[in-house]
Amino acid sequence: MSTESSLAPFSRRNWLKSLALASLANPKLFASPAAHFAPRAKRIIWLTQAGAPSQLDLFDHKPGLASQFDKDLPNSVRGEQRLTGMTAGQKRFPIAPSVFKFAQHGQSGMWLSELLPHTSKFADEICLIRSLHTEAINHDPAMTLLQTGHQIGGRPAFGAWVSYGLGSDNADLPAFVALISRPSGPTNAQPLHERMWGSGFLPSKYQGVRMSSGKDPVLFLSNPPGITTERRRAMLDDVAALNRLKLADYHDPETQARIDQYEMAFRMQSAVPDLADLSKEPADIYERYGPESKKPGTYAANCILARRLAERGVRFIQLYHRGWDQHNNLPSGIKSQCHDTDQPTAALLAELKERGMLDDTLVIWGGEFGRTVYSQGVLTRDNHGRDHHPRCYSVWMAGASVKGGHVHGETDDFSYNIVKDPVHIHDLNATALHLLGLDHTRLTYRFQGRDYRLTDIHGNVIQNLVA
């Protein structure tokens, strides 16, 4: 008697023709979800860099800082900014210029760090936002805000909203898939949380399905030992036969929905391993994505998987790479993270472009907040750390007609405050929904008497990001 199955078995039954007519009278009852206006993007690949990558060492070039080494960050810059408990007790806030070199890339001359040699080749495809900001200063609330538009858990993830708003494009696969990788280096990896791809108060069928590298890419996908596909099929035929007897007796539409879901489960058992089996990829693919791509479960392997999911019509593909939390030993830590992510990210962009899919795929790369210009802990010429910094940070988008080779927003000389075109996380989310053809103010769900949105009561579409 659930209200949540989208199927109407009664409509197939003559004896209940009247109900079928009722459903026709109200087309909204069984209508498939649809966009509010013509979309630019059919899907999103969100390359989430968990732990907060340093904008100062990757995207936000501050050449003036070289002469400021170990000088105190002026109080006028820091203002009333709250600090985490990790650096609140520091007596000094010594400036730590990036130890990495920046250069200009592409026709656009975008400044990017030497840590991103591969991504840099796509400078003219990338729309770099240097002025993103958030309120949260600790990982869990910040990641939850980025994913759900609210710092405290309980609301649906971005992907769940999209799944709810647009439904699935593939009858054999979920609409929202999450892929997680751990860093190859010895960095402390920030934990994640199932809620980050959860459906919050939306019905749970919209929740993200976590795909893993193990025996079961999707939970409980494999038959137990001794049960072959043929045996499973025979057993499912028995289940269906008995369920049909039940349906004929009780006429509960939910029973028909169950029969259909069991069939989809069976189809997933062949569709998902086929999807997750990277062994059939040609050898040069592994060269493009780098050596890590042969190891299942790495970010590089997940990038290949992301492309395969995109090809099969999965709407929201969210990668999480953990390990960007460089409170200390930033130079070696961030180098290792870029080793994990730079080449595969670029290879994914290249492949999407070659296959003509970059036109309708929105790729987003970024974390939950930025990092401080001042050093956390001891500062030397070749080593330092950086604390959390919510006031400004950088993310980039590519594909789906966002402006390539474009830099949006500007920070001050210390990458501490935004001086031009601030973009809040709600604005980023509103813009991403806009590209999917969804008006963020109209994509609502009523819960506890209130119409909730991904962007809460905030958010503006940043038209200037779109070509």
Partner 1 sequence: MLFRLCLLSFTTLAGAAELSFNRDIRPILSDNCFYCHGPDKNNRKGDLRLDVREELIKLGPQTLIERIHTTDADDLMPPAESHKKLSAKQKDTLKQWIAEGAKYEPHWAFVPPVKSKAGKSIDDFIRAELKKHGLQPAPKASRETLMRRIALDLTGLPPKASDDDDLNDFIDQLLQSPHYGEHMAVGWLDAARFADTNGYQVDRDRELWPWRDWVIKAFNTNLPFDQFTIEQLAGDLLPNATLDQKIATGFHRNHMLNEEGGIIAEEFLAEYTADRVETTAAVWMGQTFNCCRCHDHKFDPFAQRDFYAMKAFFHNVPEKGVGIYGNPVRTNAPPFVKLPAPELEAKITALNAKLKPVEDKLRGLAAGDLEPWAKKLVATKIDWQPLEPQKATGGDNPPQITDKAVLIGPQETRANNIVIKAKLPAGKITALRLECSTTAPSASFQWSELKMGKTKLHPIDATHASVLDNDRKTRSVLSVAPNKPVQALFEFEKPLEGPEVEITIGVENAGGPSQWRLFATTTPTDVVAPASIVTIAQKEHAKRNAAERKQLADFRLSQMPEHRRLSEEAASLKKQIAAAEAEIPTTLVMEEQKEMRPTFILMRGAYDKPGEKVIAATPAVLPALAADLPRNRLGLAKWLVSRENPLTARVIVNRFWQHFFGTGLVRTSEDFGSQGEQPSHPELLDWLAVTFQESGWDVKKLVKMIVTSETYQQSSRFSVRNAQLDPMNTWLSRGPRHRLSAEVIRDQALAASGLLVEKIGGPSVKPYHPPGLYEQVVAQRDNPKATYQQGSGDDLHRRSLYTYWKRSVPHPGMLLFDAPFRETCALRRSRSNTPLQALNLQNDPTYVEAARFLAQRMIQEGGASIESRLTHGFHLLLGRKPSQQELQVLAAAVERSIKDFTKDAEAAKQLLTFGEAKTDDKLPPAELAAYTTVASTLINLDETITKE
**Piece of 117-125, 233-241, 310-318, 330-338 that binds partner 1 (CB under 8 A):** 233-241
Shortest approach of partner 1 to residue 201 CB, angstroms?
9
Helices (H), 282-329: 283-289, 299-311
283 contact partners, CB below 8 Å, separation of at least 6: none
Q: Does 82 bind partner 1 (CB under 8 A)?
A: yes
Candidates 4, 72, 274, 277; binder of partner 1 (CB under 8 A) is: 4
Where does residue 108 fall: left (phi above 0), alpha (psi -120 to 50 degrees), or beta otherwise? alpha
Candidates 68, 113, 190, 336; binder of partner 1 (CB under 8 A) is: 190
Tokens of 435: 């590209």
Q: Does 305 bind partner 1 (CB under 8 A)?
A: no
Candidates 72, 169, 194, 277; binder of partner 1 (CB under 8 A) is: 194
**Under 8 Å between Cβ of 412 and 391:** no
* Nearest to partner 1 of 212, 417 (CB atom): 212
How far is Cα 423 from Cα 25, in angstroms, rounded to an integer?
44
Q: In sequence order, what are the beta bridge partners of 377?
A: none
Q: Which long-range contacts (CB under 8 A, 24 or more apart) does 244-251 make?
A: 247/9, 251/10, 251/13, 251/16
How far is Cα 252 from Cα 235, in angstroms, rounded to an integer?
22
* Nearest to partner 1 of 194, 287 (CB atom): 194
**Under 8 Å between Cβ of 405 and 346:** no
Q: In sequence order, what are the beta bridge partners of 105?
A: 110
Contacting partner 1 within 205-224 (CB under 8 A): 205, 207, 209-210, 212, 214, 216, 218-224
How far is Cα 429 from Cα 149, in angstroms, rounded to an integer?
8
How far is Cα 363 from Cα 400, in angstroms, rounded to an integer?
8
- In the shown chain, the binding pattern of residues 337 to 376 toward partner 1, with x for contact by CB under 8 A and - for none, equals ----------------------------------------
Q: Does 394 bind partner 1 (CB under 8 A)?
A: no
Secondary structure (3-state) at 112: strand
- In the shown chain, the binding pattern of residues 237 to 266 toward partner 1, with x for contact by CB under 8 A and - for none, equals -xx-xxx-xxx-xxxx-xx-xxx-xx-xx-
Site size with partner 1, rule: CB under 8 A: 95
Q: Does 14 bind partner 1 (CB under 8 A)?
A: no
Q: Does 312 bind partner 1 (CB under 8 A)?
A: no
Contacting partner 1 within 407-466 (CB under 8 A): 441-442, 444, 446, 448-450
**Piece of 61-69, 102-110, 181-189, 362-370 that binds partner 1 (CB under 8 A):** 181-189
How far is Cα 296 from Cα 275, in angstroms, rounded to an integer?
13
Contacting partner 1 within 262-301 (CB under 8 A): 262, 264-265, 268-269
- In the shown chain, the binding pattern of residues 124 to 163 toward partner 1, with x for contact by CB under 8 A and - for none, equals --------------xxx-----------xxx---------
**Piece of 93-101, 185-193, 274-282, 363-371 that binds partner 1 (CB under 8 A):** 185-193
How far is Cα 407 from Cα 131, in angstroms, rounded to an integer?
10
